Homo-oligomer: A and B are copies of this chain.
Amino acid sequence: MDKKILFNKCITLLTSVHRVTHELTQNAKSESITPVQYKILEYITVSQPVTPSDISDCQHMSMSNTSRELKKLSEKNLIKKISDTEDRRKQYICLSKDGEALMNEAFAKVELRFLDRIRNASKEDLQEIDRSLDILQTKLFY
């Protein structure tokens, strides 16, 4: 196995994944939030509850900027902050009802587009895709 060829193949896939991600998600987010805020909400959605520090680490932004964006999301009533009872410096961030509604709507659009993308795939194709997702998830994108 030539690792150089594998590298190029991987780069090609990365490029395609980013293009398809854009196709699946374009205009999915509400216009009332910025791209950064959407990414934060997306992260909260799949990982809640999370602390501001978690967000700062995973979204690669400074604590000060994270704090600012969370404040804005709070003002838009999209998230809830819950103080840790043990360590009162810590906070747990969750989606509010409004935040959940907003993200459900976005995810529904993305899912529709995903289903459209695989609508012509045969049963065998779907099984191959499923297996490939598992392999890449565990062996390459761990």
**Residues of A bordering B, CB below 8 Å:** 1, 3-4, 6-7, 9-22, 46, 58, 60, 110-111, 114-115, 117-118, 121, 123, 125-137, 139-142
Q: Which residue of B lies closest to A132 (CB)?
A: B132
- Report whether A6 and B132 are in contact in the complex, using a CB–CB cutoff of 8 Å: no
* Interchain CB contact (< 8 A) of A133 among B10, B15, B115: B10
Given A17-B17, A60-B22: A137 and B7 interface contact (C-beta under 8 Å): no
A42 to chain B, nearest CB (A): 8
**Can you tell how many copies of this chain the complex includes?**
2
A107 and B102 alpha carbons, distance in the complex (Å): 38
Task: List 5 interface pairs A-B (beta carbons < 8 Å), by A numbering.
Answer: A7-B115, A14-B21, A18-B18, A20-B141, A128-B135
A25 and B135 alpha carbons, distance in the complex (Å): 22
A97 and B37 alpha carbons, distance in the complex (Å): 39
- Report whether B13 and A137 are in contact in the complex, using a CB–CB cutoff of 8 Å: yes
* Centre residue among A9, A17, A110, A111 by max chain B CB count within 10 A: A17
Q: Which residue of B lies closest to A4 (CB)?
A: B111
Q: Which residue of B lies closest to A42 (CB)?
A: B15
* Interchain CB contact (< 8 A) of A142 among B1, B16, B126: B16
